[in-house]
Structure 1
Amino acid sequence: MPVGETAERTRGPAAVARVLSVNIGRPRPNPWMRLPTTGIDKRPVAGPVAVAAPGPKGTGAVGLAGDRVYDVANHGGDDQAVYAYAREDLDGWQRELGRPLADGSFGENLTTAGIDVNAALIGERWRIGSAVLEVSCPRIPCATFAGWLDERGWTRRFVRAALPGPYLRVVEPGELAAGDRIAVVARPGHGVTVELCFRAFTAEPELLPLLAEVEALPAEDRAQVRRRLGLP
């Protein structure tokens, strides 16, 4: 499974963290949920794309100009402004699934290379182009994602692999484009990674206490942690 590919993502002095493609969604019917439309069909676009904080969840707005979400109750808004997934992890899934996965196949806005996005810390900041983005939380698989991939037991397999990719919020608006370097400009002092956070929310709830003091998590995620731990 793709977990075994982790060490390859940052190995070697020539590795440069960068954006391989910037992907924007094309509206299409959503037969997998009680929603008429989904924006999960992301395709690479040419040229710089403006990125800005979209505001609260509920409007369908996201960070990249020209993109949007349609499941407004569960996606979009400031804490899910941009979604990143590593090309190395897509390649691992290609081998496991035996089928090609183009950039954007997982509904990601940024397909990255040379950086282990799942080892990023919650609250870590990346400068890409003229924008600064902050890692906010892992992607949790939904019915639309499972239907879109059309693989038997997909949600279970995705959870087991623990390679969710991070959502990011926009700290400084700007422009970004394919080929831009990803520079990590700040890292918090805790050790809570995207992967650990995902495992805590899914298959390993015993890890939830580690999330209790992570202020960079979205407010709704912090509330969920407190509720599941029985904290006030």
Structure 2
Amino acid sequence: MTGRVVAVNLGVVTEADWAGDASGRSGIDKRPAEGPVLFRADGVTGDFIGERAHHGGPDQAVYAYAEEDAGWWAAELGRPVRPGNLGENLTTYAVDVTGAVIGEQWLVGSALLQVTKPRTPCTTFAGFWGVPDLIKRFTARAMPGAYLRVLREGEAAAGDPVRVVERPAHGVTIGEVFRALNLEPELLPRLLDAADLPESLREKARRRLGSRV
């Protein structure tokens, strides 16, 4: 499957009372970069991250969201949702982000990325959008976007192809993980089949399953 990069987006420093970190600063406001951007194992070069306890790091080095899903939100809210407005580093087109399999690999420009986990909505996200019930609505819609690891550092820019070059056979998707953790607990056993899912989420699934594991 081949899609393309709509935009690579970098966070700017935003100071607000809804910002997540102790200093009142957030990097959720991401804006399209001009030209190629380097994707590194610890994150996207030039991207500001405020609350590092919950954002960034190897398992969350890059956040991707589909332009098609952003379009749904634009219609739902009756306002434009531009690249970066979901807090994503990578806005994609013709890539099934919700249906991406945990552990599948994307070749994006010269960078090799690996799908790791869905995003969990937070109060910072709701504050940035000015939609008080956004967490509830975002959860119900279950189009969370995908975090990715950087397996091979490289550059990407708007217009570059996004190629899915490897997909694990277990078939556990970003959407399935999100629904298991937030909406459909009967799916939790499936999460243990996804070896590339971050261990913190596998452990969360084990705790919730308890003696059934």
Fold conserved (TM > 0.5)? yes
- 1:129-144 → structure 2 map (5 Å cutoff): 129-144=109-124
- 1:154-173 → structure 2 map (5 Å cutoff): 154-173=134-153
User: 2: distance between equivalents of 1:132 and 1:30?
Assistant: 35
- Displacement of 1:34 after TM fit? 5.4
User: 2: distance between equivalents of 1:214 and 1:168?
Assistant: 15
- Displacement of 1:152 after TM fit? 3.7
User: 1: distance between equivalents of 2:87 and 2:34?
Assistant: 17
Letter in 2 for 1:209: P
Letter in 2 for 1:52: R
Out of 152, 165, 170, the residue aligned to residue 185 of structure 1 is 165
Out of 182, 190, 196, the residue aligned to residue 202 of structure 1 is 182
Q: Which runs of 4+ in 1 moved over 4 A?
A: none
Given that 1:121 and 1:193 are in contact with CA atoms closer than 8 Å, whether structure 2 keeps it comes out as yes
- Displacement of 1:182 after TM fit? 0.4
Given that 2:21 and 2:51 are in contact with CA atoms closer than 8 Å, whether structure 1 keeps it comes out as no
Match of 2:87 in 1: 107
Alignment of 1:151 with 2:137, yes or no, is no
User: 2: distance between equivalents of 1:88 and 1:213?
Assistant: 29
Taking every aligned residue pair, what percent have the same amino acid on both sides? 51
Match of 1:41 in 2: 29
TM-score by length of 2: 0.95
- 1:6-17 → structure 2 map (5 Å cutoff): 17=3
**Secondary structure class of the residue paired with 1:215:** coil
Letter in 2 for 1:217: L
Q: Structure 1: which 5+ runs fail to align?
A: 1-9, 11-15, 55-62
- Displacement of 1:68 after TM fit? 3.1
Given that 2:38 and 2:156 are in contact with CA atoms closer than 8 Å, whether structure 1 keeps it comes out as yes
* Aligned CA-pair RMSD: 1.4
Match of 1:176 in 2: 156
Alignment of 1:51 with 2:51, yes or no, is no
**Secondary structure class of the residue paired with 1:135:** strand
Letter in 1 for 2:5: V
- Displacement of 1:215 after TM fit? 1.1
Match of 2:209 in 1: 229
Alignment of 1:69 with 2:55, yes or no, is no
TM-score by length of 1: 0.87
Given that 2:97 and 2:174 are in contact with CA atoms closer than 8 Å, whether structure 1 keeps it comes out as yes
Letter in 2 for 1:49: V
- Displacement of 1:115 after TM fit? 1.2
User: 2: distance between equivalents of 1:116 and 1:215?
Assistant: 21
**Secondary structure class of the residue paired with 2:188:** helix
**Secondary structure class of the residue paired with 1:230:** helix
Q: Deviations over 1:56-99 (max 9, x none)?
A: xxxxxxx1101131111111100000000011111111111001
Match of 2:6 in 1: 20
- Displacement of 1:153 after TM fit? 1.4
Given that 2:117 and 2:197 are in contact with CA atoms closer than 8 Å, whether structure 1 keeps it comes out as yes
User: 2: distance between equivalents of 1:44 and 1:202?
Assistant: 31
Structure with greater strand percent: 2
**Secondary structure class of the residue paired with 2:44:** coil
Q: Structure 2: which 5+ runs fail to align?
A: none
